Amino acid sequence: MLLFAALLIFPPDVAQRLIGGALSDGAAYARLAELSDTIGPRLSGSPGAEAAVKWALQKFQQDGLSAHLEPVKVPHWVRGEERGEILPSKYAVGHPLALTALGGSVGGTATGEVIEARSLPEIAALGEQARGKIVFLNHTMGVKGGYGDFVELRTKGPSEAGKVGAAGVLLRSLATASLRSPHTGTTTYDPGAPKIPAAAISVEDAELLRRLLQRGAVKVRFALGCRWLPDADSANVVADVRGRELPDEVVLLGAHLDSWDLATGATDDGAGVAIVMEAGRLIAKEHPRRTVRVVLYMNEENGLAGGNGYAAAHQAELSKHVAALESDSGAGRPTEVRVHAGAPGAALLAPWLTPLESLGITEVIDGEASGADISTLGPASVPMVAVRQDGTHYFETHHSAADTLDKVEPEALAKSAAAVAVVAFALAEMPQPLPRPAPTLEPHRPEGPKPPAH
Amino acid sequence: MLLFAALLIFPPDVAQRLIGGALSDGAAYARLAELSDTIGPRLSGSPGAEAAVKWALQKFQQDGLSAHLEPVKVPHWVRGEERGEILPSKYAVGHPLALTALGGSVGGTATGEVIEARSLPEIAALGEQARGKIVFLNHTMGVKGGYGDFVELRTKGPSEAGKVGAAGVLLRSLATASLRSPHTGTTTYDPGAPKIPAAAISVEDAELLRRLLQRGAVKVRFALGCRWLPDADSANVVADVRGRELPDEVVLLGAHLDSWDLATGATDDGAGVAIVMEAGRLIAKEHPRRTVRVVLYMNEENGLAGGNGYAAAHQAELSKHVAALESDSGAGRPTEVRVHAGAPGAALLAPWLTPLESLGITEVIDGEASGADISTLGPASVPMVAVRQDGTHYFETHHSAADTLDKVEPEALAKSAAAVAVVAFALAEMPQPLPRPAPTLEPHRPEGPKPPAH
């Protein structure tokens, strides 16, 4: 659905303040720098996560939003020391492995011969051959992406390998670039399956394993110091710009405050946090018709306790959640708007989005627009809207030690904040809300779909 | 000096066998894979270095060359455990530092406030301000290169910082790309200056330090487990294709067999080793007029014992070394030939290099053509010839844990081997040897000039 530049439904002065503010004041980047550099990694249950909750509450209050915490219990997994090696054999020296535990893995040591599998069915097909061995989960994710195609190897592969008696799992990192850098991410064990240690190895180490397997048998050993602690108390941070006419109708802007522990989570999802906070800050001055609610979810990465907790706590109000938008695709420039609100949704929204043309967005696409945290609102038929972003470099650093502030281009971040501000204001101001789509059947997902880079 | 395709001085059948052999048999890549994957890192004094010496001797013999070892004593430095952190302050949490000791650093722990310097004069200018502090050596090497401009910060910076009383040094890695990856490389202490621990931090960590310094004082602590052991016995591997008419006249092809310890040194300098071995193997079947000698030097990275040792042992024959070529620029495709042999050298050589046109090389450039190891032959007026290679990606992995075989493109490697084979055969076959240049004054360099990427 093309935008209609001739129509000036969106108040031009508001557009100017939202876009001009986002592009000129550097506030989103400054806030992201503060979150990344002064608070640091924010895995659920960690001191960093708790510091981030307090920080966000204070910032919202400074911005003039009405903010509060909504408690959630979160899983508490900690990494510890970790190391691994390819053992020397008669035809090759040993090599250290650049590895990192998958989030949620049990700790322990695993030693065994390596056996390769490239899909969940291939793991199952190994059967008795896998007993006592280390299953090497290989795949073809490369510079062109493919995260969505292979993420199941990480989330389910270790459990599948446990079922066939493997001693451990080494996953080729899900990454589009590598300088010997392993990428973590959550894995989930089936309750009935044996829990075996599981780690990601760098792309280089995966390539080395593959080459050595062509020479003969390969044995590895790795030790993970990770462990599970009792669930921790944490919170979603919820901040409202109260609607001037329809305060009970809510446009929800979400991002997740937690991050993996290996880096400062500047792009996953510090950028999303900065984008929705900036949108909230700018919209607070504009007094839209409906309430705009910024929700900084806790525990997107390894549990979705925040997404589930919000949906449960607000069940009674979800029929008045008129739209939800999640920002969890990094810090790239905005590329398009998607809306999932039944067929007429895009047509209804398009005339309101003409200010986005100045940001290079000329179309509203009717399509999938959900996110991990807001997917929990799907059963309540909440319309979903997404500002898609350029993801060219997203999976180069995703879930790795290199997800740091230097990967963020301030101008691109500001443009995405501007786009989200415009979209949110439009949703909060348009006379008729979006039509509601059919409810999604799945109440929630254990881990949300990260948007593939391509 | 343009090549002259019309002239067919170079025997066409030989050109066909040299180029066709290099491009079709995959031998250079297979050998590099064996060196990288089955022997691994090869820092001077390590078991890997000694295994590589034995391996190379055996391979030369298999290839039909007359090979022997020439003993050299090498420095023996080992890395050990290493870690560091930015300490928490009143305005920021602590952060782990991705760091690695500079080669040759003393071990130990250093704790102190960070003070930045960007050049050797800036270190000296710090004076008393630096006492007890950690000098952060920052610079602007980036994606476009600049290694040659900043390498002095690494080789001399720690010693300069010691002179002004610093407790330690953290160097921004010399790199054109980073995914939180520190790059090592040698540092040399002045005999009279205090020796302080020195490490490279990743580009990301350098950027973080810079940002935190803008917020206020920053304190770091790091601990290096590296240490010096007694000098070790090692060897250069020297292999001759004996000349059919002028066996005493030698065309020397050099590369270095040692590597840094963080990775398998696939591009630095496994690729050079594979290139010159492949050239030797192919030329051995062609019985050129002069002797072609392949020298795999030991200890280029941290001492140049091999380069110095060869020059000393062969002093009496250096007047009959008619040319020297060093391959130590990675595995990229060949881009040009350089010759340093006095003005008429390029004109004399050009007609002999017409087969290189099929590899995309159309010119011989009169210019700097030396290398670290062969620079020790400069005082004896040995003409230098270089096959320059595409270095676009060289400094992305140089001296880091990511210098692994997957960075090598087999076709580019084969082309460089073909080019070196052609150049070496030409030098060994042309009736008149190259004119000899004026002797270089500097007898040798502590560390050779790595070619800048751009």
Q: pLDDT per residue over A163-203, tens digit each?
A: 999 999 999 999 999 999 999 999 999 999 999 999 999 99
Cβ contact B181–A179 (<8 Å): yes
- CA atoms of B117 and B130, how far apart (whole Å): 10
- CA atoms of B95 and A142, how far apart (whole Å): 30
Tokens of A159: 């459990």
Cβ contact B177–A180 (<8 Å): no
Pairing of strands A290-297, A246-256: parallel
Q: Which of B99, B179, B214 would best serve as a mutation to test chain A binding (most A beta carbons within 10 A)?
A: B179
Cβ-Cβ contacts under 8 Å, B40 against chain A:
92-95
Helix axes A12-24, A271-283, angle to 10 degrees: 140
The β-bridge partners of B72 are B234
List the single residue in A with minimal CA-CA distance to B401: A180
pLDDT at A403: 98
Q: Which of A39, A79, A180 would best serve as a mutation to test chain B binding (most B beta carbons within 10 A)?
A: A180
Bigger pLDDT: A281 vs B452:
A281
Look at residue A449 and tell me whether its pLDDT is greater than 70.
Answer: no
Cβ contact A215–B48 (<8 Å): no
Q: Strand, coil or helix: what is A374?
A: helix
Look at residue A388 and tell me whether its pLDDT is greater than 80.
Answer: yes
Q: What is the pTM of this model?
A: 0.95
Residue A356 is which amino acid? L
pLDDT at B85: 98
- CA atoms of A218 and A220, how far apart (whole Å): 7
Q: CA-based diameter of chain B, in Å?
A: 77
Tokens of B26: 């995959």
Cβ contact A48–B93 (<8 Å): yes
pLDDT at A452: 35
pLDDT at A6: 54
pLDDT at A2: 72
Lowest-confidence segment of A118-132, A264-278, A440-454, B82-96 by average pLDDT: A440-454
Closest CA to A320 of A349, A291, A296, A297: A291
- Which pLDDT tens digit goes with each residue over A285-344? 999 999 999 999 999 999 999 999 999 999 999 999 999 999 999 999 999 999 999 878
A278 φ/ψ angles, rounded to the nearest 5 degrees: -65, -40
Cβ contact B207–A406 (<8 Å): yes
Residue B322 CB neighbours (<10 A) = 22
Burial class (CB in 10 A: 0-12, 13-18, 19+), B218: buried
Q: Which of B36, B37, B393, B409 would best serve as a mutation to test chain A binding (most A beta carbons within 10 A)?
A: B37
Q: Are A259 and A42 in contact (CB under 8 A)?
A: yes
- Which pLDDT tens digit goes with each residue over A232-279? 999 999 999 999 999 999 999 999 999 999 999 999 999 999 999 999
The residue written with tokens 């016995």 in the block is B233
Helix and strand tally (H, E) in chain A?
A: 12, 16
- Give, in degrees to the nearest 5, the angle at Cα A120 between A114 and A125: 70
Q: Kindly provide the ipTM of the predicted complex, given to two decimals.
A: 0.94
Tokens of A407: 């990967």
- Which pLDDT tens digit goes with each residue over A134-161? 999 999 998 888 999 999 999 999 999 9
- Of B211, B396, B404, nearest to A33 by CB-CB distance is B211
Q: Strand, coil or helix: what is B315?
A: helix
CA-based torsion, A348, A352, A354, A358: positive or negative: negative
Q: Which helix (H) or strand (E) holds B71?
A: strand B66-78
- Of A95, A208, A400, nearest to B179 by CB-CB distance is A400
B292 φ/ψ angles, rounded to the nearest 5 degrees: -105, 120
A229 contacts: CB under 8 Å, gap ≥ 6 = A45, A76, A77, A78
Tokens of A56: 């966000």
Tokens of B58: 């055996």
Compute CA distances B209 → A408, B35, B111, whole Å. Answer: 16, 38, 15
pLDDT at B449: 37
Tokens of A300: 């997107």
Cβ contact B180–A98 (<8 Å): no
> Smallest CA–CA separation between B262 and chain A, in Å?
9
Active site residue ranges of A = 300
The β-bridge partners of B138 are none
Q: Strand, coil or helix: what is B395?
A: helix
Q: Strand, coil or helix: what is B34?
A: helix
The residue written with tokens 């050299």 in the block is B72
- Give, in degrees to the nearest 5, the angle at Cα B165 between B260 and B159: 30
> Smallest CA–CA separation between B247 and chain A, in Å?
38
Find the catalytic residue in B50, B82, B278, B300: B300
Q: Which of B83, B404, B405, B409 would best serve as a mutation to test chain A binding (most A beta carbons within 10 A)?
A: B404
Tokens of B160: 């300069």
The residue written with tokens 């969890």 in the block is A328
Tokens of B29: 């890549």
- Which pLDDT tens digit goes with each residue over A367-385? 999 999 999 999 999 999 9
Cβ contact B179–A95 (<8 Å): no
- CA atoms of B248 and B242, how far apart (whole Å): 9
- CA atoms of A313 and A29, how far apart (whole Å): 32
Tokens of A169: 């799992």
- CA atoms of A129 and A108, how far apart (whole Å): 22
DSSP label at B226?
-
pLDDT at B219: 98
Tokens of B288: 């050129």
List the single residue in B with minimal CA-CA distance to A396: B179
Ordered alpha helix ranges (H), A299-400: 305-313, 344-349, 394-397
- Residues in chain A, overall count: 454
Q: Consecutive sets of 10 residues in chain B, 454 residues long: mean pLDDT of each?
A: 70 97 96 98 98 98 98 98 97 97 98 98 98 97 90 98 98 98 97 97 98 97 98 98 98 98 98 98 98 98 98 98 98 97 89 95 93 97 98 97 98 98 98 94 49 34
The residue written with tokens 């994606």 in the block is B143
Residue B146 CB neighbours (<10 A) = 18
- Which pLDDT tens digit goes with each residue over A10-60? 999 999 999 999 999 899 999 999 999 999 999 999 999 999 999 999 999
DSSP state string for B319-338? GGEEEEEE--S-SPPEEEEE
> Smallest CA–CA separation between B174 and chain A, in Å?
14
**If interface means Cβ-Cβ distance under 8 Å, which residues of chain A face chain B?**
33, 37-40, 47-48, 51, 91-95, 98, 177-181, 203-204, 207-208, 211-212, 215, 263-264, 396-397, 400-402, 404-406
Long-range contacts of A205-208 (CB under 8 A, 24+ apart): A205/A95, A205/A97, A205/A98, A205/A99, A205/A180, A206/A136, A206/A138, A206/A170, A206/A172, A206/A173, A207/B404, A207/B405, A207/B406, A208/A86, A208/A95, A208/B37, A208/B404, A208/B405, A208/B406
Cβ-Cβ contacts under 8 Å, B212 against chain A:
37
> Smallest CA–CA separation between A348 and chain B, in Å?
44
Cβ contact A212–B181 (<8 Å): no
Cβ contact A401–B37 (<8 Å): no
- CA atoms of B24 and A304, how far apart (whole Å): 54
